[in-house]
Chain A
Amino acid sequence: MNLTLHVWRQKGPQVKGKLETYQAKNISEDQSFLEMLDDVNEDLIKAGKDPIAFDHDCREGICGMCSQVINGKAHGGDERTTVCQLHMRRFNDGDDIVIEPWRAKAFPVQKDLIVDRAALDVIMQAGGYTSCHTGGVADGNALLIPKPTADYAMDAAECIGCGACVASCPNSSAMLFTSAKVAQLAALPQGKAEAKDRVRNMTQALLDEGFGNCTNHYECQDACPKGISVKFIAKLNREYLKTVAK
């Protein structure tokens, strides 16, 4: 199939960017979206032009590196799918495709489709852990965690930190990302000791890093390639309320 791409090109963080048009020719429907972009880049290199810079790494939907808004939807809008797992069979011959980077104040564009997501690391550093020392911990079975609790924690822990929740949020809030970690650790006995500080510090970091506030649009849940539920935001809110009640 042949496609017309409109790709955001931006030389660097301080430079103004714009959408440029490219043709993708002879694309097979078995190719992944990123393999389609690889093809376009090969043509650009051969024509002596600067290839499109985009983040990607594992290409199997788990590292969270890939980050593109395709036709207005983060990761292209396929349910529970990252860009790297999006396949060209989802498109039709002759389609126009608009590709943009994540857009948020907290995610400045570094080049073309690559953004800086260090702010997510800062949120994690504010409390996305249990303060256990290496060694000197109890036996794994000393803490009994019934399957439903373990499953609940795992549902939250599946977050790959790609930032699609921020990219799709009308407020650019990282609340789904933050809540996934808060809820995971709050559900588990290991995380309870620090639950209060964690929820306060992580949500504070979220604001300090320039993300917006959550106003319950729930766009994040639909955009999340791992299907993280906004019920974890409800859980975060509950955890926060506990800190108010003291």
Chain B
Amino acid sequence: MILDGKAPTGPIEKTWDKHRFDMKLVNPANKRKFKILVVGTGLAGGAGAASLGELGYNVEAFCYQDSPRRAHSIAAQGGINAAKAYPNDGDSIYRLFYDTVKGGDFRAREADVYRLAQVSNNIIDQCVAQGVPFARDYAGYLDNRSFGGAQVSRTFYARGQTGQQLLLGAYSALSRQVKAGTVKMHPRTEMLDLVVVDGVAKGITVRNLITGKIESHWGDAVVLATGGFVNVFYLSTNAMGCSVTAIWKAAKKGAYMANPCYTQIHPTCIPQHGDKQSKLTLMSESLRNDGRCWVPKKVEDCEKNPNDIPVDDRDYYLERKYPSFGNLAPRDIASRAAKEQCDDDRGVGPGKRGVYLDFKTAIDRVGQPMIAQRYGNLFEMYEKITDENGYERPMRIYPAPHYSMGGLWVDYECQSNIPGLFVLGEANFSVHGANRLGASALMQGLADGYFVIPYTIAPYLASLTPGTVKEDHPAFKESAEQVEAQINKLLNINGKKTVSELHRELGSVMWEDVGMARSDASLKHALKRIPEIRDEFWNNVNVTGEAGELNQQLENAGRLADFLEFAEVMAKDALHREESCGGHFRTEHQTDDGEAMRDDENFCYVGAWEFKGVDKEPELHKEPLKFENVKLAVRSYK
């Protein structure tokens, strides 16, 4: 089937304004009659729930953490992009739009990206009004820094904790609505099913993580803002609780999973130290503003103290390969370049899986206090984990799974192919294409939450009579029974392996075969291994405890069960996409000097997969991508 993203036509500068005018509104007096369920309370969900509540809708919001303030948006460090052009360096909405489309390797929908660039400025204003303490100069003006994939300074930041400050801003707006009674919060509650009645999303089934009780919630619309799925790799920079579960349950109810093979591997993470590690820690990409990436030129130097290696014997590979962007090359390119050096046996540190990120030049230029002021918390974090001082000895970094550009398919109004199901932020696929630029995730989350969903949900709701389906509908009972059945099944396997052992197995297959570089052979290997691990899971996992209590093993088992189904679709998507673009690199499709080779003729589309059942072939639906404003071109950062 050919999907229609419903992107408005006409001059791109006018599309959002025109569309906003064309959309139907809900009468203020009627708004409170509509109940909207928002699942996930990070930047997108938190901002969305707050804004919808403020408009007068009756909102119920859900998160698995004990408070909405803990969503993993909080871990974003470096900053948020906006086309304010305060530094007078040639930035504009159009340039942000252009950079994002190009950065995404021409696999995003133009109109969505343009809207994002447009509202980026409102986000900064909104956050300032909330009291987000963005960095300022002595005169009091907002400060900017540069980020990968851009030649202008458009990144706003709050020390190394921008995500935290923006999330706390959204959380404060949400708290205000909770107090006002327009939003009801359900913390420590995990969504375990989407309830669909006559093809329309009408509610969710959740598990109260404290009591273990399965509960049904009806809603006139369901908004998913549940983040990304890179924990499918087991080791990633995501929080331990991040999972594909919410969007996968929706996919199993008919929502299309778009571009699941587009995963971002972030270049500046702290390398893995051992096999007992539970997660990887990212350090902001902003470090590459002042840090220089290098590896020894000679293999025999790799074991030496890096300070003893003369400059001439160092290979500053990013500066060498990409002279115009240098150390600020986009993430996918920087990550692959690091992998190349390590594959060439010139990696450093344990297992030789690491490259140096050296601040010596910057410290000599501006002094250590200035570097400490810019990145102090990152150096602290690095030292805590590695016990090494990054000022005195170059840091070691290695790429790690970080973000998923893919997600549920949505149209221009953030609505999935299931009417009434809206998807925001990282959980949808829409604006980042095949690769996300740094400081754009925060931008998208808040754009969707504050400035898109409050408008785009209205025409859908305006077409409904509120509250027609409630918890007494048989679909809710059926859904709750299914959820309970799966829980009982998990608890009664009583096998020998623990959930995390099996998750590690899945993760290692995904990282080796569906990671930074993928080949036909590796993907086929993965497609053989994933069902095997899934079988073993359903026959040999050991989930302790009971259903009716706080049971973290049960939570993890449910999430892994979904990863095991989702991973297969992800590998299938990667196998079908016979091109290299952005975060998706197929070794068969590269130029002579190892750069990604896109195939616009055959693959300039969104690949949206319809789940047909475990062990059945998913069906591929395509949304062709048209580029009318940014010309399709080879993405070069040389």
Contact = CB atoms under 8 A, between A and B. Distances in A.
A225 to B, nearest CB: 11
B139 A144 contact: yes
A238 interface: no
Interface stretch (A112-120, A165-173, A210-218): A112-120
Contacts of B72: 57-58, 63
A59 B67 contact: no
A147 B136 contact: yes
B454 A140 contact: no
A62 B168 CA distance: 12
Nearest to A157: B133
Contacts of A245: none
B355 to A, nearest CB: 20
B165 interface: yes
Interface stretch (A42-50, A92-100, A229-237): A42-50
Contacts of B179: 125-126
Contacts of A179: none
B23 interface: no
Nearest to A187: B133
Contact of B240 (A39, A46, A59, A62): A59
Given A62-B161, A63-B70, A121-B67, A85 B187 contact: no
A85 B385 contact: yes
A164 to B, nearest CB: 14
Interface string B44-69: 00010011001000000000011111
B155 to A, nearest CB: 14
B275 to A, nearest CB: 9
B161 A53 contact: no
A28 B279 CA distance: 16
A244 interface: no
A149 B140 CA distance: 9
A61 B381 contact: yes
B69 A137 contact: no
A92 to B, nearest CB: 15
Contact of A128 (B70, B132, B134, B175): B175
Given A150-B134, A160-B164, A64 B454 contact: no
B426 to A, nearest CB: 15
Interface stretch (B122-130, B146-154, B217-225, B458-466): B122-130
A190 B141 contact: no
B129 A137 contact: yes
Contact of B130 (A63, A139, A190): A190
A140 B71 CA distance: 25
B172 A128 contact: yes
Nearest to B143: A147
Given A63-B239, A137-B126, A157 B158 contact: yes
Contacts of B210: 110, 116
Nearest to A78: B384
A71 to B, nearest CB: 19
Nearest to A111: B550
B159 to A, nearest CB: 6
Given A126-B179, A157-B165, A188 B239 contact: no
A129 B239 contact: no
Contacts of A55: 66
Contact of B131 (A61, A125, A184): A184
Contacts of A51: 544, 552-553
Contacts of A191: 131
Contacts of A131: 176
User: Which of B66, B173, B282, B550: most chain A Cβ within 10 A?
Assistant: B66
A139 B175 contact: no
B137 interface: yes
A239 to B, nearest CB: 14
A158 interface: yes
Contacts of A14: none
Contacts, number: 226
Contacts of B69: 64, 121, 124, 161
Contacts of B130: 129-130, 132, 190
Contacts of A135: 122, 126, 450-451
A6 interface: no
Nearest to B51: A134
Contacts of B545: 50
B240 A137 contact: no
Contact of B176 (A28, A129, A154): A129
Nearest to B386: A30
B498 interface: yes
Question: Main SS of the interface on chain A?
Answer: loop
Nearest to A65: B70
A65 B70 CA distance: 7
A157 B130 CA distance: 12
A199 interface: no
Contacts of A150: 133-136, 140
Interface residues of A, number: 79
A50 B241 CA distance: 20
A145 B71 CA distance: 28
Contacts of A30: 273-274
B86 interface: yes
A55 B65 CA distance: 9
B616 interface: no
B75 interface: yes
A80 B379 CA distance: 13
A206 interface: no
User: Which of A48, A50, A59: most chain B Cβ within 10 A?
Assistant: A59
A190 B129 contact: yes
Nearest to A47: B544
A38 interface: yes
Contact of A141 (B66, B142, B164): B142
A93 to B, nearest CB: 17
Contacts of B276: 28, 31, 35, 38-39
A89 interface: yes
Nearest to B77: A62
A124 B130 CA distance: 14
A95 to B, nearest CB: 18
Nearest to A123: B175
A81 B421 CA distance: 40
Nearest to A114: B550
Contacts of B274: 28, 30-31
Contacts of B591: none
A133 B141 contact: no
Contacts of A139: 125
B364 interface: no
A118 B67 contact: yes
B605 interface: no
B549 interface: yes
A28 to B, nearest CB: 6
Contact of A34 (B134, B171, B278): B278
Contacts of A121: 67-69, 175, 178, 185, 187
Interface of A: 11-12, 28, 30-32, 34-35, 38-39, 42, 44-46, 48-51, 53, 55-65, 80-81, 85, 87, 89, 110-111, 114, 116-118, 120-121, 124-126, 128-135, 137-141, 143-151, 153-154, 157-158, 160-161, 184-185, 188, 190-191
11 contacts: A30-B273, A31-B276, A44-B544, A49-B544, A62-B161, A129-B131, A137-B129, A150-B133, A154-B158, A158-B164, A161-B70
Given A58-B75, A59-B278, A125-B178, 18 more contacts: A30-B274, A51-B552, A60-B381, A63-B70, A87-B387, A121-B69, A121-B187, A124-B171, A125-B175, A129-B130, A129-B173, A130-B129, A141-B84, A146-B140, A150-B133, A154-B133, A184-B131, A185-B131
Which 10 pairs show the lowest CB-CB distances between chains A and B?
A: A144-B140, A129-B172, A137-B129, A153-B133, A132-B129, A150-B136, A154-B133, A140-B128, A125-B179, A134-B51
